[in-house]
Amino acid sequence: AELKIHGSSKKKSSSSPRELRSRKWFGPNVNPSMGAIYIERYLNYGITQDELTSGKPIIGIAQSGSDLVPCNRYHLELSKRIREGIREAGGIAFEFPIHPIQETLRRPTACLDRNFAYLGLVEILFGYPLDGVVLLTGCDKTTPACLMAAATVNIPALVLNVGPMINGYHKGELSGSGMVVWKGRELLSAGEMTRDEFVEYAATGTPSVGHCNTMGTASTMNALAEALGMALPGSAAIPAPYRERPQCAYETGKQIVEMVLTDRKPSDIMTREAFENAIVVNTAIGGSTNAPIHVTAIAKHMGVDLTVEDWDTVGYEVPLLLNMQPAGEYLGEEYFRAGGLPAIMAELLDAGKLHPDALTCNGRTVADNVRGKHSWDRRVIHEYSKPMLENAGFRHLSGTLFDSAVMKTCVISEEFRGRFLQNPDDPDAFEGPVVVFDGPEDYHRRIEDESTPIDEKTLLIIRGTGPLGYPGAAEVVNMHPPGRLLKKGVHSLPCIGDGRQSGTSGSPSILNASPEAAAGGNLAILQTGDRVRVDLRKRRVDILISDEEIKSRQEKLNAEGGYHGPESQTPWQEIFRKETDQLSQGMVLREALKYQRLAQK
């Protein structure tokens, strides 16, 4: 596959040179008593006064890798090549850490840290003399946290992800990160695997440095950063250990300096057109259900009008082109060798599905970057006219159970379709009795209990798992059926919840339901045994009980003080619960939206 990282191109011609932001700290007009203080401490590790004061662009490197964040840890190496690129192009690099966000270790959930890291990064980008920043991303929430902050501050910013791990294998079969955990859990629960065997099996999905090698939230959000124009074309899919990755790091360092010199900012790149391109791309790659949450958040901080409904209207009728787990078979290495994201976007461009003129980080348009970059490997990246699946986007659903939820339709299996969507009179609808769980602990406690009334027609409901109920919103809606059904070959039941689910999950859950139970949504009044109806054509999910009954249950719950999740355990959890909006609104900090384009103020 030909995959070339582009360097700088067109430069804006400006007659009067713009004063760099860092000159307010290091320029000749700074009050000498303060200027000395700004400079002196930075000399103590060997930077010279001349380097700081000569007017070279000062470029931040926002380091997200550490021992606590193994998914991004290889960035500690990659940043050396970024520094060389920055220096080569005439800039000065300042590397600094951001708050760690590790998907797999952080309790109660890593998503609690997305807004925390965002706030911290905004303060750093605004409060220090940075002219531009390279955002080192990878693991799921690191990418949106960085892009949200870049949007708020609006200094030139460029994303470099760490890249997916190489392929993992188990007994000759591909082991996709995350996917093997879900499969292993089923085997464990069906009694076919011991705890030690489970750990060993799960680790086959973790064969090298890098982020998840499936199209989970990490690969998705980094593909969307590239689709938005915020990462070099062709960069997102490069596997972490490949030689192209440090080469790309070097090009990223050079490119950010060019972006500072031409003043190409997030607001020039992340336009409504760019966000629509990202939504279309998300369907074509079979992207994560976390994407609508994070992309909505980035758009809100950028001041671009975008709603979850746009994912259905703009993205539903796009075909699935990428054959990668969880929606398909392959992993990151095949995806990269088949041409990576530019090969996907070349198909979408030819089909008229992209805004071709959207500006990207390198000064070229989307069309300039991807035109003609079609894949040679049609097992992995399908032609637009011969897709994996037509109409493969998210359905946006509403009804009496919630105002907003999404369903990833491209992961509906034939087995699931056979049990729930085969009524000839009504092929897009199903209904059934529900079993309600209050959070993941309740689910784990009762799922294997014989007295929990679950059969192959039951709908599983989980509540108390939204941003307020379970601060950060738990990734738990993909609930597997009890072992007794798994043994009979029933691998999935419809799941509905106010939480999220892992991007590596192949479950067609109805999730991100807003308002959540803890925010007064009707999930709170649902009882085990009630019937719920899902109609994908009408895009509705309704409780099949009378309006009077709904009203009286609401009144009773309100009299009891409403639905509550567990107590906050830390100061931030309490602040988060007070200040944070629902998943349909991107789970942003409401107050933060008042502050936009800080670098221009």
Query: Minimal distance in Å, beta carbon 224 to ligand FES?
Result: 14
If the CB atoms of residues 234 and 499 are measured against Mg ion, the closer one turns out to be 499
Distance CA 22, CA 36 (A): 14
If the CB atoms of residues 236 and 473 are measured against Mg ion, the closer one turns out to be 473
Kindly tell me which residue out of 212, 270, 274, 486 binds ligand FES, with binding defined by CB under 6 A. 212
Q: 534 near 488, Cβ under 8 Å?
A: no
Taking contact as CB under 6 A, which single stretch among the options 92-100, 210-218, 326-334, 373-381 is the one that binds ligand FES?
210-218
Taking contact as CB under 6 A, which single stretch among the options 211-219, 221-229, 322-330, 445-453 is the one that binds ligand FES?
211-219
Contact between 71 and ligand FES by CB under 6 A: the answer reads yes
If the CB atoms of residues 475 and 581 are measured against Mg ion, the closer one turns out to be 475
The dihedral built from the CA positions of residue 81, 85, 88 and 93, taken in this order, carries a sign that is negative
Which bin fits 91, alpha (ψ -120 to 50), beta or left (φ > 0)? Answer: beta
Distance CA 189, CA 404 (A): 32
Q: Which does 251 bind (CB under 5 to 8 A by kind): ligand FES, Mg ion, none?
A: none
- Residue in the structure block whose two tokens are 């999930």: 523
Interface positions, 164-183, toward ligand FES (CB under 6 A)? 177
Contact between 271 and Mg ion by CB under 5 A: the answer reads no
Kindly tell me which residue out of 21, 75, 183, 211 binds ligand FES, with binding defined by CB under 6 A. 211
Q: Which does 502 bind (CB under 5 to 8 A by kind): Mg ion, ligand FES, none?
A: Mg ion
Contact between 139 and ligand FES by CB under 6 A: the answer reads yes
Sheet holding 531-535, edge to edge: 394-397, 404-408, 510-514, 495-497, 459-463, 429-438, 531-535, 540-543
| Three-state secondary structure of 525-575 | HCCCCCEEEEECCCCEEEECCCHHHHHHHHHHHHHCCCCCCCCCCCHHHHH
Query: Minimal distance in Å, beta carbon 182 to ligand FES?
Result: 13
If the CB atoms of residues 140 and 310 are measured against ligand FES, the closer one turns out to be 140
Q: Which does 113 bind (CB under 5 to 8 A by kind): Mg ion, ligand FES, none?
A: none
Distance CA 220, CA 282 (A): 7
CA-to-CA separations, 53 to 37, 58, 261, in angstroms, rounded: 13, 10, 16
Instruction: Please give the structure tokens belonging to residue 297.
Output: 């958040």
Instruction: Please give the structure tokens belonging to residue 503.
Output: 């991007």
Distance CA 547, CA 259 (A): 57
Question: Does the bond joining 326 to the residue before it have cis omega, within 30 degrees of 0?
Answer: yes
If the CB atoms of residues 176 and 466 are measured against ligand FES, the closer one turns out to be 176
If the CB atoms of residues 276 and 475 are measured against Mg ion, the closer one turns out to be 475
Taking contact as CB under 6 A, which single stretch among the options 212-220, 294-302, 477-485, 578-586 is the one that binds ligand FES?
212-220
Q: Site size for ligand FES, by CB under 6 A?
A: 10
Interface positions, 494-513, toward Mg ion (CB under 5 A)? 502
If the CB atoms of residues 110 and 121 are measured against ligand FES, the closer one turns out to be 110
Contact between 145 and ligand FES by CB under 6 A: the answer reads no
Q: Which does 218 bind (CB under 5 to 8 A by kind): ligand FES, Mg ion, none?
A: ligand FES
CA-to-CA separations, 516 to 108, 224, 519, in angstroms, rounded: 18, 27, 5
Distance CA 584, CA 394 (A): 14
| Minimal CB distance residue for Mg ion | 502
Q: Which does 236 bind (CB under 5 to 8 A by kind): Mg ion, ligand FES, none?
A: none
What is the CA 36 to chain-centroid distance, rounded? 42
Q: 96 near 124, Cβ under 8 Å?
A: yes
If the CB atoms of residues 464 and 499 are measured against Mg ion, the closer one turns out to be 499
Judged on CB neighbours under 10 Å (0-12, 13-18, 19+), 556 is exposed
Kindly tell me which residue out of 73, 100, 103, 262 binds ligand FES, with binding defined by CB under 6 A. 103
CA-to-CA separations, 76 to 9, 58, 67, 221, 297, in angstroms, rounded: 29, 19, 10, 21, 27
Q: Which does 143 bind (CB under 5 to 8 A by kind): ligand FES, Mg ion, none?
A: none
The dihedral built from the CA positions of residue 35, 37, 40 and 41, taken in this order, carries a sign that is negative
Kindly tell me which residue out of 98, 218, 314, 358 binds ligand FES, with binding defined by CB under 6 A. 218
Instruction: Please give the structure tokens belonging to residue 363.
Output: 């000064």
Query: Minimal distance in Å, beta carbon 161 to ligand FES?
Result: 10
Query: Minimal distance in Å, beta carbon 141 to Mg ion?
Result: 8
Query: Minimal distance in Å, beta carbon 165 to ligand FES?
Result: 9
Q: Which does 71 bind (CB under 5 to 8 A by kind): ligand FES, Mg ion, none?
A: ligand FES
Taking contact as CB under 6 A, which single stretch among the options 115-123, 209-217, 480-488, 547-555 is the one that binds ligand FES?
209-217
If the CB atoms of residues 215 and 513 are measured against ligand FES, the closer one turns out to be 215
CA-to-CA separations, 587 to 147, 251, 273, 471, 497, in angstroms, rounded: 15, 34, 22, 11, 16
Taking contact as CB under 6 A, which single stretch among the options 88-96, 208-216, 566-574, 580-588 is the one that binds ligand FES?
208-216
What are the respective helix, strand and coil percentages of the chain, to the nearest 5?
40, 15, 45
Contact between 216 and ligand FES by CB under 6 A: the answer reads yes
Q: Which does 63 bind (CB under 5 to 8 A by kind): ligand FES, Mg ion, none?
A: none
Q: Where in 77-131 does DSSP place strands (E)?
A: 92-97
- Dihedral, CA atoms, 446, 450, 455, 458, nearest 10 degrees? -30
Q: Which does 509 bind (CB under 5 to 8 A by kind): ligand FES, Mg ion, none?
A: none
Query: Minimal distance in Å, beta carbon 116 to ligand FES?
Result: 17
Rule CB under 5 A: which residues touch Mg ion? 103, 475, 502
Residues that bind ligand FES in the complex, under the rule CB under 6 A = 71, 103-104, 139-140, 177, 211-212, 216, 218
